[in-house]
Structure formats: structure tokens, C-alpha cells
Chains A and B, each alone.
Chain A
Amino acid sequence: MGLEFTFARTTAGMEDSSFDILVLGIGNLLWADEGFGVRCAEALAAEYELPQRARVLDGGTQGLYLLPYVQAAKRLIVFDAIDYGLPPGTMRLVEKDEVPRFMGARKMSLHQTGFQEVITAAELSDCCPREMLLIGVQPVELEDYGGSLRPQVRARIPEAVGVAVERLRDWGCDVRSRGATVAAVLNAGALGMGAYESGRPPAETACRIGDARFL
């Protein structure tokens, strides 16, 4: 982790109000497969160069705080871990009007009811994206604090990113492959998947399980 790098990165997100397409990864990267959405956004930003009108955002678990970004977008793609009730690792797409309803329809992780609320609030303020695509994967494991994606879920990232790229191109976005992966475009270096995983303390010193009621 170098200082130059810290400085260089900071200008990346400054053109704040000029986008009308938003690609949002949501979830908590500290909770195993909950990090799927954020990791997809990270991979997209690392592998592709997007035009100014499209913004890739790590939404974390910000709930209502994501409203300003959603309000600014005419088109929205969301990556997330979703409890579809399907076999673990299954990827499924949900389109348009179904997105908020679907997201509120099942027992899901912390941030998702929050995100449903964001969509309805955007509707109430007459600033809701016209088009939405939810790219979700059924998680394998959520209760592994400090852990990372499980192999079946991780394996879905290229496919999920591919779907997003295709949709962005359908929307007239000039999405270009960078040719090589650029490190840590989206997030602080230490949270990048590689650094995050390699820096993890051993299980003996860092408890990884959660509340038995949620296991």
C-alpha cells in the first residue's frame, strides 16, 4: 500500500453528477457471500472502462443513503446476493418493475429491505430509474465473519459482469475492456479481494461464526 496510490485514486469518483446509468454492488464484504455484489462491481470497474455517463458504485450496506445515486440514474443495474430459494450458487436475473417487489418478497439479508425502501423513496420523489436489472446469486454461506466468497459464488462473477456489460452496451454505453485488470479502481486497496483474503487472521484468533439463530 503506497501513498502515491492513495492520492491517485481519490480523483476517480469526483465527477459526481454527470452520470445517468448506475451499476450498484450492494452487500457487506465482511460477511462471506454477502460480498458478492460489491465484488462484482469491483471486477467490472477493474476490467472495463466505462464512459462518463455510467457510474459503478460500491453501495455497501448504505440503505437509504444510496438514494441520491439511485435518484440520479435513469437506468440501474444491481449486483447482490439474493435468497431466491434456489440451489446455492445459482444466478438469476430480475427485470424492471419486478426488482423492488422481488427484493422485498423474501427473507433476505440486512441491506435488502433497505434497498427496496430506496426504490420506493425514489419513486415518491419522482426520480426513479426507468429501467432496472437485478443480477443476483443465491449465496452458499453468509455466516463467516471476515470471510470471503465461496467458490460456487465466486465462479459467478465473470458471468454476472458479462451480463452487466451486455446490458450496458444495449443501453448504448461504450464499454471497453481494459485489456488488463487494473487493481483497486473501486475500493480502498486493503479491501480488494486479494488483500482482504490474504490478510485474514487465523480462525483460532478470530471467531468466524455468528449467532446460532441465524446459522
Chain B
Amino acid sequence: MGIYETQGFKLDNTGKRVVVDPICRIEGHLRVEVNLDGQNVIRNAVSTGTMWRGLEVILKGRDPRDAWAFTERICGVCTGTHALASVRAVEDALAIKIPENANSIRNIMQLNLQVHDHLVHFYHLHALDWVDVVSALKADPKQTSELAQSISIWPMSSPGYFRDLQNRLKKFVESGQLGPFMNGYWGNPAYKLPPEANLMAVAHYLEALGFQKEIVKIHTIFGGKNPHPNWLVGGVPCAINVHDTGAVGAINMERLNLVSSIVDRSLEFVEQVYIPDLLAIASFYKGWLYGGGLSSKSVLSYGDIPERANDYSAKNLLLPRGAIINGDLTRVHEVDLKDPEQIQEFVIHSWYKYPDEAKGLHPFDGVTEPNFALGKNVKGTKTNVKELDETAKYSWIKAPRWRGHAMEVGPLARYIIGYVQNNPEFKEPVDRVLKKLDVPLTALFSTLGRTAARGLECQWAAHKQKHFFDKLMGSLKAGDSATANVEKWEPANWPKEAKGAGFAEAPRGALGHWIRIKDARIDNYQCVVPTTWNGSPRDPKGQIGAFEASLMNTPVAKADEPLEILRTIHSFDPCLACSTHVMSPDGRKLAEVVVR
């Protein structure tokens, strides 16, 4: 298996090996190993999750109505999305219908998460893969102001504003306390922005730091608390009373007005800052269209944001559902989470044990039994692996496949599916961006395309948040204040055995939870999270996962500064923590990079 072809890629692991660990932390750590050829082009890529996560097994025997609270703890980011998928799985199993208001509130919370997560990802976890902070010190504030004013009406754009900011940045750099800017590969030739664009982006990085704290207040209002909001099987756990003027108890008009104001301000920030920045940055990188990976071949979305409550069919979901395979952009396949032939997880290259590892298992029948064993070609020891052997087991992440295909999930997948379905909400913004940057549709299938799709989705989500807020207000004014259906709350009203699937589109992609209930207790629980799809290792056919594919054929300017690898992996938003977690334990290096 040293050299072989799969999914249109030629894998060759004979060249110089570069190990980046940790590249970020996804429910554990993510480590990437690549082989470079003589021209420093990536010819083999291996992505591995280096930590066991067995949430499924610790849920056995617990109350299904509590599962959401545990699943919120799976990872540090998608707390609310996991909870949403979990309550939907239980509702599906027990045929529980939720009130329209509950659907609107869940959508507002989910869209709010998208807006917040995408914004924070772009500015605080990903921008510095494109923006050279040190170069910003050389910028001319006046020209920066001209640049900013040429792309947006955002008011904070005077020469004085940028001059002050630059001085603040200088002080930071001189004090040696670069903070989040400490670990960059500043000056690397893979950075392409002029100093003025860098300064503008750094200014907006700081503005976004201040602004993002407003956005999450919506979660506190509807979820009762944050960062681990409350959820409820059967609806949402908040009572609403529009006539109550006091602050105690139910959500009242004053709270709803606050929601409305946050929704409006989010939209303004996204449209006047995020999107113009994205386009400005992209215009300097449109010659760097690497990182497409599986996006032009196989993408998957479960869809989300039901317009009406309790209808989870594709036509009622505002975020598109479907699968595209083999690069056939003329056809979107229907996706069914409960069809045993569609979603299956394989473990032949994962540190788990199946009775027959040539076969995959549907999550209803999923098994999560660890089996940590290394291949014979591993370099190093069991406790200190220098180099993994990807021909054997090499990751704690399972390999999910859709009808046997490795799939990319996330904003780019959703936008490609919406585009192919000719849905104007997705197609028109994409066409506008492509036209503005003067690039063909194929440019979408790239790291930059992934980053752009996230920005467009942030804008889309901000608009839809407004839509569902208006819908909620309309319903409340019409006298409907129901937020929960408790008819089937008591297990006495449940069947002896039941099973269900719940799904959501997390900011970083398709999330599914599958539950089997027996005697009112959890009998089996399986989660397939977005990063399981994107970070998947190889399968029995040797097919590579989305991270691995995205790195293929990318030239690396400096082998010991894998900026291009980080840029592409970060574009998937594998976890909130990427930029924060690339620090090594001594807080100095970006990551441990070993070139052999």
C-alpha cells in the first residue's frame, strides 16, 4: 500500500514525512502526518484522532430524557447542537410532536450558534492562517482607511482609528506579550496580503472579539443558561409570557426586544465587516486554490432548520439535505439516516473492534469497543509514536461512509448541495462571490471555497434568525404561547422498545444521534459527529477521508512551517479550539513539527 490510487488521488508515502501534532484538538487531539515529494508537494496524508471518546457507552442504562445533558459534554463547542440532535432522536423514537413555538426557538438557537461559531471561527481561529499580524505593523493607516472605505460602509474606518490600533499592536508586540498572535509563522511566503489588508483584518479581529459576546446572549435567554443551555424532550424548557413586565420567571417582552436587537446587530456586523473582509482577503488568494479534497467529489448534508415543526422531510428543511457522489453535480441523492444501507461506520483503520471489520455497521447497530493496536511499520513506541502506520489501525476516529463513499460535510457541502439543487438562497450568493472574484465555479472546491461558504452561511443564518424571530412573535401575538408538549413525558406512556434518529447541521457539518430505548432506558446510543466524517481515516477499500484528501497535492512553502496544512485543516473548523490549541505545552511553538 505504499503507492496506490483512490478517489482520483495518487497516494505515495515514500517521500519525506512531516508530522504535525497537535494540529488542533477535536474531542481529543488531531494529528496529521504527510509525505512530501522532492518539490515539497504533499503526496500522502494521514489524519488521526489521538483520543478515545466513548460517550456512547457511558449512556447505557440512563434515562433517554437526560441524554442531551451528557451529549452537551462530548466536545467543547457544539454543546447546543448535540443537545438538539439528542432530543430529536428521543422524540423520533417516541413519536413526540413539539409545538411550533418550540421549533422556532430551537431554530433561533441553532442559527444563533451558526452565526456566532462562524464569526468566531473566521476571525479568531482561522484568519491568522491568511493574515500576517507582523506585516500589519508596516501598513500605512491612511491607505488602510481608504481600503476599508472602498469595501464597506462600516463606520470604524478612519486613518486615526487604524493608526491608534497599529500603535496598540506595536506595544503588544514590543512587550513580547503577543497573546494569540504569539505563535504565527509570520513572514512565511504563503502569506499574500499587503500590509494594509493585514492591518484592516487585525482591526476587525479585535472588533469581533468585542462583538461576539453580544451574540451568545440569545442562548442565555432561550436556553436559560450558557454555555450549556437547557433542552427538553418535547419542546423547549422556557415559558413565555408577553404580558409579564417583571424580569423573574417567564421570558417577557423586554427579553424578546433584546433578542430582536441582537439579531439586527449581528446581521449588520456580518454584512458590513465579515463578508467584505472575506472578499478582500479572498481576492489576494484566488491564485491559491488548493485544499478542495473531496468537495468536488462527495459531499453530504442531513439538512436542518425545519420551517414547520415536526416535518423533517427534505422539502421542509431550509438548510439542504442530500448527498453528491462521484463528482456528479447533476444529481443530489436522497439521504435517510435510518436506512441501514446508507450510513455505515468502518473500523478497520480505527482503534475499535468489530466482529467482522471488512463490513460497516449502521449506527443503530453500532459497536464502540476500543482496541488500541499499532501497525508493524510504526516508528517509535506505543507510548511515543514517532510515525504512524496508516496501513494498520491508526486513529480513534471511526470511518463513516455514505453508501460506501467517504464524504465531506460542513458549510461548503451544504452550499454545493443547495447550489446543485438550484436553490436561489444558496446559488445566488455563490454566483455573486464567484463573479466578484472573477473565478470559475471550480474555484469553490478549495480551502478558500470552504472558508467563503462559511461566511455566506453566517449571513444566511443571521437572516433566518430574523425570520424565525418574526414567526415566533407572530405566533405569540396570535395567542399561542405553547413551548412544550408533555403528553409523553412519563415513561408509562412509552412503548417497551423504540428506536429513533436525530440530526442537526452543526456549524462544522452533519451531526447524527441514534438511540435505542428499552424499558425506558437507553439500550444503545451512537453519535456520528461532523469531524468523524471529515477526520475519518481510511476504510477497507483504502479510501481516504476528507481531511486527508484536502491536503493532497498541496505545495508547502517551508516543510518546517506547515502553514498550508494548518490553513486547510482549519478551514473545516474541526473544533473551536484550533487556533488556541496549536500552542504546544510550553506555550511557545505553534505545534510540534517533525520533518524526517
Chain A interface residues toward B at CB < 8 A:
1, 3, 6-7, 9-17, 28-30, 57-68, 71-72, 104-108, 110-111, 113-114, 116-117, 120-121, 123-125, 127, 145-146, 187-191, 199-201, 205-207, 209-215
29 contacts between A and B (CB under 8 A): A3-B489, A10-B224, A13-B220, A13-B225, A14-B225, A16-B220, A29-B73, A62-B79, A63-B580, A110-B25, A113-B580, A113-B581, A123-B179, A124-B172, A124-B206, A125-B209, A145-B58, A146-B57, A146-B58, A199-B63, A207-B52, A207-B54, A207-B369, A209-B52, A209-B370, A211-B50, A212-B382, A213-B383, A214-B51
The answer to whether B396 touches A211, judged by C-beta atoms less than 8 angstroms apart, is yes
CA–CA, A111 and B587, complex, Å: 14
Given contacts A7-B239, A113-B580, A200-B58, contact A106 B216 (CB under 8 A): no
| Neighbouring A residues of B120 by C-beta, 8 Å | 64-65
Contact of A205 among B60, B75, B372, B384 (CB under 8 A): B60
The answer to whether B66 touches A67, judged by C-beta atoms less than 8 angstroms apart, is no
| Main DSSP-derived SS at the B contact region | loop
Q: Would you call B583 an interface residue if the criterion is a C-beta within 8 Å of the partner chain's C-beta atoms?
A: yes
Q: Would you call B375 an interface residue if the criterion is a C-beta within 8 Å of the partner chain's C-beta atoms?
A: no
**CB-based nearest A residue for B207:** A125
The answer to whether A9 touches B224, judged by C-beta atoms less than 8 angstroms apart, is yes
The answer to whether A13 touches B69, judged by C-beta atoms less than 8 angstroms apart, is no
Q: Would you call B474 an interface residue if the criterion is a C-beta within 8 Å of the partner chain's C-beta atoms?
A: no
CA–CA, A12 and B224, complex, Å: 7
The answer to whether A191 touches B209, judged by C-beta atoms less than 8 angstroms apart, is no
Q: Mark B67-80, 1 if CB is under 8 A from A, else 0.
A: 00110110111010
| Neighbouring A residues of B255 by C-beta, 8 Å | 14
Chain B interface residues toward A at CB < 8 A:
25, 28, 50-55, 57-58, 60-63, 65-66, 69-70, 72-73, 75-77, 79, 120, 124-125, 172, 177, 179-180, 206, 209-210, 212-214, 216-217, 220-221, 223-228, 230, 232, 237-239, 247-250, 255, 351, 368-370, 372, 382-385, 396, 486, 489, 576-577, 579-581, 583, 585-587
Contact of B227 among A60, A114, A116 (CB under 8 A): A60
| 7 nearest CB pairs, A to B | A68-B213, A120-B179, A13-B225, A10-B224, A146-B58, A190-B66, A61-B76
The answer to whether A116 touches B587, judged by C-beta atoms less than 8 angstroms apart, is yes
Given contacts A120-B180, A125-B206, A188-B66, contact A65 B396 (CB under 8 A): no
Cβ of B165 to closest chain A Cβ, rounded Å: 11
**CB-based nearest B residue for A83:** B585
Cβ of B535 to closest chain A Cβ, rounded Å: 15
Cβ of A75 to closest chain B Cβ, rounded Å: 17
| Neighbouring B residues of A67 by C-beta, 8 Å | 209, 212-213
Given contacts A16-B217, A66-B227, A127-B210, contact A60 B57 (CB under 8 A): no
The answer to whether A12 touches B70, judged by C-beta atoms less than 8 angstroms apart, is no
Given contacts A116-B587, A199-B61, A205-B60, contact A121 B227 (CB under 8 A): no
| Neighbouring A residues of B382 by C-beta, 8 Å | 212-213
CA–CA, A30 and B72, complex, Å: 11
| Neighbouring A residues of B576 by C-beta, 8 Å | 62-65
**CB-based nearest A residue for B352:** A207
Cβ of A178 to closest chain B Cβ, rounded Å: 19
Q: A13, A59, A64 — which one has the most chain B CB atoms within 10 A of its CB?
A: A64
Given contacts A125-B210, A190-B63, A213-B50, contact A6 B232 (CB under 8 A): yes
CA–CA, A97 and B61, complex, Å: 46
| Neighbouring A residues of B70 by C-beta, 8 Å | 30, 190-191
Beyond A14-B225, A67-B212, A205-B60, 9 extra complex contacts between A and B, CB < 8 Å: A3-B489, A7-B237, A11-B248, A64-B576, A117-B580, A123-B179, A190-B62, A190-B63, A206-B57
